[in-house]
């Protein structure tokens, strides 16, 4: 009964988008973080759009590199370092 009265609860009921497309949320998140950070830090707004896009691209590339690095550690190096017993 209570669930029908409440609106969408982001932490308890996540978006039903599946795990295959959840990484696409990184793009707007990086863009909005960059927009907020640059709006506060820049003294003038003359270079604002270029710096926002540059910082958003840096965030996306950095998070992708971290993901690839963790994949290599877990899937490639860890079985070599500590193989599973037979």
What's residue 76's pLDDT? 94
Q: Is 19 helix (H, G, I), strand (E, B) or coil?
A: coil
* pLDDT per position as a tens digit, 9-68: 767 776 677 677 778 889 999 999 999 999 999 999 999 999 999 999 999 999 999 999
What is this structure's pTM? 0.75
Residue 1 has pLDDT above 60, yes or no: no
Cα 64 vs. chain centroid, distance in angstroms?
Answer: 9
What's residue 5's pLDDT? 55
Q: Where are the domains of the chain?
A: 24-86
Model confidence band, residue 4 (pLDDT cutoffs 50, 70, 90): low
DSSP assignment of 45-77, as one string? STTHHHHHHHHHHHHHHHHHHHHHHHHIIIIII
Contact in structure between 85 and 55 (CB atoms under 8 Å): no
């Amino acid at each position: 009964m209570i669930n029908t009265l409440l609106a969408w609860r982001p932490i308890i009921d996540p978006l039903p988008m599946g795990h295959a497309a959840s990484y696409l949320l990184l793009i707007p998140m990086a863009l909005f973080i960059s927009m907020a950070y640059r709006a506060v830090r820049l003294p003038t707004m003359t270079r604002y759009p270029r710096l926002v896009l540059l910082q958003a691209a840096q965030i996306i590339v950095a998070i992708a590199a971290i993901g690839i690095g963790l994949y290599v550690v877990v899937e490639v190096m860890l079985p070599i370092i500590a193989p599973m017993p037979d």
